[in-house]
Amino acid sequence: MKKLLKVCGMTQGDNIRQVDALGIDLMGFIFYEKSPRFVHEVPDYLPLHAQRVGVFVNASFAVIIEKAEQFGLTYIQLHGCEASDLCQKLKEAGLKVIKAFSIASVDDLLATTNYQEVCDYFLFDTKTPAFGGSGQSFDWDILSHYQGATPFLLSGGIGPESVEALKCFSHPALVGYDLNSKFEVFPGVKEVSKVNAFFSSLQLRR
């Protein structure tokens, strides 16, 4: 089965339109005010092909629902210390849930245990002192110890130079890749040609 491609941190209408036209599967919009990719207002174009993912950090249920309605979100990606109860509540509201986990060692995988039944996907990212991405990769070999039933997206420092390494990495629960900073012209705007080349190199097109 072909892997999903998610492009995160989109902000500008024309750029969203161009990336959406590539045929990617998921597009992320960040609603964390401390992020340089924070979406201040609804762009003048929202993806029609890619499913829309809202990225939140310790936001309330009410705020998440408001943004989900405003942006037509399909997925909610939780990047903070959110409890599994919130994931369950979001699913009951008809939303799909991605829970992000910061990984630096095998012990970090233990945090997934309480979320197995309430998330559609996990996202494994590089552990950092603050919330959000670092543009750095973690040791993917750690994931050989992940034996959960919930499939996951791989994130953290994936760039154009990662293609060969990704071709060599496999896991039965791996369903896709999350791209962000290494494909940018500047924060919030992606270099479409780089995304397109990556998409083609991994033969992800449907």
Single out the catalytic residue among 8, 20, 25, 119: 8
Residue 187, token pair as written in the block: 């924060």
Question: How big is the chain, counted in residues?
Answer: 206
195 contacts 8 by C-beta, under 8 angstroms: no
Whether 125 sits among the annotated catalytic residues: the reply is: yes
- Under DSSP, is residue 42 helix (H, G, I), strand (E, B) or coil? coil
- Under DSSP, is residue 69 helix (H, G, I), strand (E, B) or coil? helix
Q: Where are the alpha helices (DSSP H) in 21-71?
A: 61-71
Which H or E run includes 110?
A: none
Single out the catalytic residue among 20, 25, 125, 178: 125
Whether 107 sits among the annotated catalytic residues: the reply is: no
User: Distance between terminal CA atoms of the chain?
Assistant: 10
- How far is the C-alpha of 60 from the C-alpha of 77, rounded, in Å? 13
Q: Which amino acid is at 191?
A: E
Q: Which residues are catalytic?
A: 8, 125
